[in-house]
Amino acid sequence: MKMIKGPAIFLAQFAADAAPFNSLDAICGWAASLGYKGIQIPSWDGRLFDLNKASESQTYADEVKGIAARHGLSITELSTHLQGQLVAVHPAYDAAFDGFAAPEVRGNPEARTEWAVDQVKRAILASRRLGLGAQATFSGALAWPYVYPWPQRPAGLIETAFDELARRWRPILDVAEEHGVDLAYEIHPGEDLHDGVSYEMFLERVNNHPRANLLYDPSHFVLQQLDYLDYIDIYHQRIKAFHVKDAEFNPTGRQGVYGGFQSWVDRAGRFRSLGDGQVDFGAIFSKLTQYDYDSWAVLEWECALKHPEQGAAEGAEFIRNHIIRVTEKAFDDFAGRGTDAAANRKMLGIS
């Protein structure tokens, strides 16, 4: 069996304009001081990382790795969540998502899509230069506004949306295959790939592409009331990245899964700091270990109640305590007896 790596931390929710969160060197020092061994880098945040430079310069990529290494850290993955989101945007969300894009392509959906595709491809090249095997991303969404429709969806609407989503991603997946990098889609409400069935619809349309893989985050399944342990049994061969994030779902007579347009604090389903929610991480780490997942366990901190620095400090210890040191021998080896083929046949009554 193989052993999960960690603890690691996704830097996106911590990057800021004030030290120690405003440069890669400083934030690496902070993460290392908490006991983290790895960092997942948001590729869009210029305070920490220059994606264009990393895609073109091995020297710069080596410098980035060197900064992390000086603090005893490994880079786990690059994240292109924001750019992946912009690969496919329904017009209803143009204004909301325009801020994710470079200023020069805002207000121009076609140019924005081209920019996003180029960004994800650049992150693949940068991942190769950094020696990384996976990239964390979102799929984007064309069909999401019709997830719970009234009036009913016209025939063929969802099929057309997924055909187009696959058409846009297939060339990116081919670049990923060329450079040996898995795209790990985070299955997430708001994305067309938001559960197992929708992922399978996409996977079928990209001909089961070997690089169309998964980032596993159980928090989003708690909020959907999806069985996050059965999900591992079904899709473990495709899980290439892991966000360790907690959540809770406490429905009332007033609200349930959809949350009644409430703030995160007041929603029935909400994200929590590690250990404060309902996710059974003991079972998750056991299943992933059982299936030989040997990549990183990465804290993604999102909580409406707890301060992020407290969540980060507690998260390192939480993950470290859940990583299973795999055994090298069977528990009942002490009772084993030497035997041979003849003895086995005798025990079975075979002459």
pLDDT in tens, 3-49: 999 999 999 999 999 999 999 999 999 999 999 999 999 999 999 99
CB 247 within 8 A of CB 269: yes
Instruction: For residue range 159-190, list pLDDT tens digits in order.
Output: 999 999 999 999 999 999 999 999 999 999 99
Indicate the domain borders of the chain.
5-347
pLDDT digits (tens, 9 = 90+) for 183-213: 999 999 999 999 999 999 999 999 999 999 9
- What residues pair up with 270 in beta bridges, in sequence order? 248
Helices and strands per DSSP (H, E), number in the chain = 13, 10
Nearest to 238 by CA among 275, 263, 272, 209: 209
- Predicted TM-score of the model (pTM): 0.95
Q: Does domain 5-347 have CATH number 3.20.20.150?
A: yes
